Amino acid sequence: MKMPPRQLPQSLDKGLLPIYVVSGDEPLVVQECCDSIRAAAKKAGFSERELLHAEQHFDWGQLLASAGSMSLFAEKKVVELRLPNGKPGDKGSKALQEFARLASDDLLLLLVLPKLDRSQLNSKWIKALDQQGALIQVWPVDAREMPRWIHQRLRAAGLDAEPEAIQILAERVEGNLLAASQEIEKLKLLSDDNLITAETMNDAVASSARYDVFGLIDRALAADADAAIKTLQGLRAEGVEAPVVLWALAREIRSLLEIGEKLDRGQPLQRLVRIQKRQPLVQSALSRLQPRQLESLLLRARAVDNAIKGGRDQDPWTGLLELTLNLCGKRSV
- The domain that holds 18 is classified in CATH as 3.40.50.300
Average pLDDT, the chain: 87
Are residues 45 and 117 located together in one domain of the fold? yes
197: domain CATH number?
1.10.8.60
Distance separating alpha carbons of residues 282 and 27, to the nearest angstrom: 24
CA distance 250 to 266: 25
Domain assignment of residue 332, yes or no: no
Domain C-terminal end among 157, 190, 206 = 206
- Mean pLDDT of the region 206-216: 67
Choosing from 94, 117, 138, the residue where a domain stops is 138
More confident residue, 73 or 81: 81
Please indicate, yes or no, whether residues 30 and 128 belong to a single structural domain of this protein: yes
**218 lies in the same domain as 201:** no
| 313-319: long-range contacts, CB 8 A cutoff, minimum separation 24 | 316/242, 316/246, 317/232, 317/236, 317/242
Same domain as 81, residue 119: yes
Q: What pLDDT, on a 0 to 100 scale, did the predictor assign at position 68? A: 73
Asked if the model's pLDDT at residue 107 lies above 80, the reply is: yes
* Model confidence, pTM: 0.60
173 lies in the same domain as 97: no
Domain assignment present for 195: yes
Query: Which pLDDT belongs to residue 143?
Result: 78
Same domain, 174 and 91: no
Tell me what pLDDT residue 147 has: 92
C-beta separation of 125 from 148 below 8 A: no
**Looking at the predicted structure, is the pLDDT value of residue 285 above 90?**
yes
Residues 28 and 53 in one domain: yes
User: Same domain, yes or no, for 217 and 176?
Assistant: no
Residue among 22, 11, 28 at smallest CA distance from 181: 28
Given a contact cutoff of 8 angstroms between Cβ atoms, the answer to whether 107 and 76 are in contact is yes
Range of the domain at 156: 146-206
Same domain, 42 and 64: yes
Average pLDDT over residues 271-299: 88
Tell how far CA 164 is from the center of its chain: 28
Rounded (10°) angle between helices 279-288 and 242-264: 80
Same domain for 196 and 290: no
Confidence at 73, pLDDT banded by 50, 70, 90: low
Number of domains in the chain: 3
- Give the pLDDT confidence score for residue 104 in this predicted structure: 82
Same domain flag for 235 and 256: yes
- pLDDT grade for 207, boundaries at 50, 70 and 90: low
222 shares its domain with 262: yes
Asked if residue 63 is part of any domain, the answer here is yes
Among 169, 186, 206, where does a domain finish?
Answer: 206
The mean pLDDT value for 169-191 works out to: 82
Domain CATH for 283: 1.20.272.10
Residue 333 placed within a domain: no
**Which 3-state string (H, E, C) describes 156-203?**
HCCCEECHHHHHHHHHHHCCCHHHHHHHHHHHHHHCCCCEECHHHHHH
Assign 188 a pLDDT band (cuts: 50, 70, 90). confident
Q: Which residue did the predictor score with more confidence, 104 or 21?
A: 21
Q: Is the pLDDT of residue 176 over 70?
A: yes
Across 67-81, 98-112, 249-263, least confident range: 67-81
Confidence of residue 209 (pLDDT cuts 50, 70, 90): very low
Q: Are 324 and 229 in contact (CB under 8 A)?
A: yes
